[in-house]
Structure 1
């Protein structure tokens, strides 16, 4: 699986040559896969294997996104050239007619003029001036037609590679899920009381209310907390690859405003821990779907909502970069031509909320983000 992944992603740069940033992303994915494959071959414990597989899944996500961008660029360019050629249909027909008539006429007849040698000389001069221009236009037309054919071939080849990449990504996710389930080397700060958890969920009407009662579900909790990470504010990477859709406090289509970020992700994208943290809760909650609540330091909570699957158990301590879960959605081979890379490419959304002393704060105070679009 690893060798095939490296070979596959080496082709992404070729499929994405229309955009240098896309090719660079593909090369980054190849490097990430090579490093991960080496780490996987050297991994002995469950934690090392989980880390290596996590990087492999991320590498697939980066490479597949690069391939999709390349296919989108090729499709748009092919459509643009085809439309341009169709708009110039009459001009092209006249050009081809002139070229054909010149090629069919014998050279002496072409150069002969009724007015005699002077007219013939003038006609020859005009023809010598016109012919390079006709040839240049014919060469440009030939180049455009060849480019359309090449782009169509590239799209057909890329579609096959995309399908192969999706299958490899699914294999990597399956292996990751199994490795997470098999590991037994994670430290645990407390044991969850399932009865208290059920009571808290039943009595909860808001995310704030649930967060305020999290201490009641912990039993035999070890004293102290993880080291303070306040110095890393604004430097943490987002837990998932995606695009920022809404900032804290921005209204959605229904006019609802939430204190967290909304990130658009690809289907089945892996969500990782931005820093070492204790799992305070993992499971369904209200209308948020599956929710994972992490405590990176005392009195601070990172809340991730909208996952399809959650890894780990309440009370465990996860290291930085560990897989926390997977987004939902269906892996598809079709490519959106919206141009912004969103749309079908990123149909899932992850909600991120940060609370300090159980008060919401702007997640962008903690996480590095980019503007939408």
Structure 2
């Protein structure tokens, strides 16, 4: 027996809905998680900031004061290898590549800076992908909300169509003895069919949108996995390069050992960052002759250098002192980490004071690089600031980075702008700043000083064009 128009339309609509819903599981449930902690979309904790645990005082952390040696570098390298999922073949290839640079400090410096730049770009891409995945999940939930909201309406329409199919309408429509009833039935069907068609079109559009969302999410997840692979490879490259450099240095001299111990002793006695920087700066002559000379060369009339000359100077990976006078580097410094600026210079810091620097909320385990050329005056824990690094950048300027979890440089070491200094943790370390993120995300505090007085760092950073 031929099916009535109402029956056919009902079956078509029901089939479309059932096929669509069964083919599209929830994206949030089926998305394949990427490796590593960065795979989950970032969330901003809006709860009030809690006081995080205090970082250990420098005086009570002798382990942090120990002089770094090749053995410790090797153990750090092994820890990195254990935490990544690269194939053994790729790990061996990287080690062979770096072994070929043995003894060539210039090549090692260039490789370190290039690897750090690739990590920085991969971190930016990971953050962007996670943001897009968040948007896709929100879009999917909105579409599914619309479909769930129309379930009752669709069920009622299907029930009505089912009742029509039980009483075949042709007998009503074409009955010659009841022309008025046939007309009314025709009017009823004519009114229902367009509404059913519009509803079917709406549901079809939503199902198509869900399909597109799922396809886009799969593409974003593939990009996320590729960037995590880049991060793992470059982290291994950096750890291997650092281990190779320290093996090349060999045993540290007694003078540098004394320098390390003296810096830790000064940190234990200092009651403020200002006092610490002042006491360390007064000892700068014992760090190195080059550092002392650069610090003493305070020229009120800075040389005029073209942007091309400045870029050329920074491109010299063999340099053992700042490429340009620090005052000339204004507008060319590298931002130490990727992140969101949550506290500006001069703003209230949430503890009743004024911020003398800027604070960035970063990704978990984000890389931190040197913002400028300079010598490491101090590295290690200090009061409640977590791990800090203080660089003597010459001409009476110092750069302070606080809130790190790990540090990979040594006191007295010269670092070039863009070289890796360490990494952040998974949460704010130390009571350095109060932000809307609370302690749930790591916070890096950055401060510039000139003659031990805070300087607004806002205008010192390179633009993307300059840093590229």
Q: Is the pair's TM-score, using the shorter chain for normalization, greater than 0.5?
A: yes
Report deviation, 1:281: 2.1
Q: Does 1:355 align with 2:464?
A: no
Residue 335 of structure 2 is matched in structure 1 by 238
Residue 208 of structure 1 is matched in structure 2 by 274
Report deviation, 1:105: 7.1
In structure 2, what is the Cα distance between the partners aligned to 1:41 and 1:132? 69
Q: Does the 8 Å CA contact 1:240/1:269 hold for their aligned counterparts?
A: yes
In structure 1, what is the Cα distance between the partners aligned to 2:418 and 2:164? 69
Residue 367 of structure 1 is matched in structure 2 by 461
Q: Does the 8 Å CA contact 1:288/1:305 hold for their aligned counterparts?
A: yes
Residue 289 of structure 1 is matched in structure 2 by 386
Alignment of 1:1-373 (within 5 A): 44=101, 45-98=107-160, 108-109=170-171, 111-112=173-174, 117=179, 120=182, 124=186, 127-128=189-190, 130-148=192-210, 151=213, 166=228, 169-183=231-245, 191=256, 193-215=259-281, 216=283, 218-219=285-286, 220-222=288-290, 224-225=293-294, 226=322, 227-234=324-331, 236-329=333-426, 347-367=441-461
In structure 2, what is the Cα distance between the partners aligned to 1:149 and 1:105? 37
Report deviation, 1:293: 1.5
Q: Does the 8 Å CA contact 1:197/1:217 hold for their aligned counterparts?
A: no
Report deviation, 1:89: 3.3
In structure 2, what is the Cα distance between the partners aligned to 1:224 and 1:114? 112
Residue 13 of structure 1 is matched in structure 2 by none
Q: Does the 8 Å CA contact 1:193/1:217 hold for their aligned counterparts?
A: no
What are the superposed Cα offsets for residues 266-295 of structure 1, whole Å, 9 maximum, x if unpaired? 011111123333322222222211111123
Q: Which has the higher contact order (CA 8 A, sep 6+)?
A: 2
Pair 1:169–1:116, CA change in 2 (3 A): same
TM score, norm. by length of structure 2: 0.57
In structure 2, what is the Cα distance between the partners aligned to 1:99 and 1:238? 66
In structure 1, what is the Cα distance between the partners aligned to 2:405 and 2:172? 75
Pair 1:179–1:120, CA change in 2 (3 A): same
Could you say what the CA RMSD is over the residues aligned between the two structures, in angstroms? 4.2
Report deviation, 1:74: 1.9
What are the superposed Cα offsets for residues 39-85 of structure 1, whole Å, 9 maximum, x if unpaired? x9899521232233223322331232123112211221222223333
In structure 2, what is the Cα distance between the partners aligned to 1:104 and 1:146? 32
Residue 33 of structure 1 is matched in structure 2 by none
Aligned length: 323
In structure 2, what is the Cα distance between the partners aligned to 1:247 and 1:290? 21
- SS of corresponding position for 2:289: coil
- SS of corresponding position for 1:347: coil
Higher percent of residues as strand: 1
In structure 2, what is the Cα distance between the partners aligned to 1:255 and 1:115? 92
In structure 2, what is the Cα distance between the partners aligned to 1:343 and 1:142? 41
What are the superposed Cα offsets for residues 78-122 of structure 1, whole Å, 9 maximum, x if unpaired? 222233333333323234445556777757357447895577567
In structure 1, what is the Cα distance between the partners aligned to 2:165 and 2:449? 79
- SS of corresponding position for 1:213: helix
In structure 2, what is the Cα distance between the partners aligned to 1:238 and 1:73? 28
In structure 1, what is the Cα distance between the partners aligned to 2:172 and 2:448? 82
In structure 2, what is the Cα distance between the partners aligned to 1:65 and 1:113? 69
Deviates more, 1:171-180 or 1:141-150: 141-150
TM score, norm. by length of structure 1: 0.70
- SS of corresponding position for 2:448: strand
- SS of corresponding position for 1:271: strand
- SS of corresponding position for 2:127: helix
Pair 1:115–1:214, CA change in 2 (3 A): farther
Report deviation, 1:211: 0.5
- SS of corresponding position for 2:123: helix
Pair 1:234–1:164, CA change in 2 (3 A): closer
- SS of corresponding position for 2:398: strand
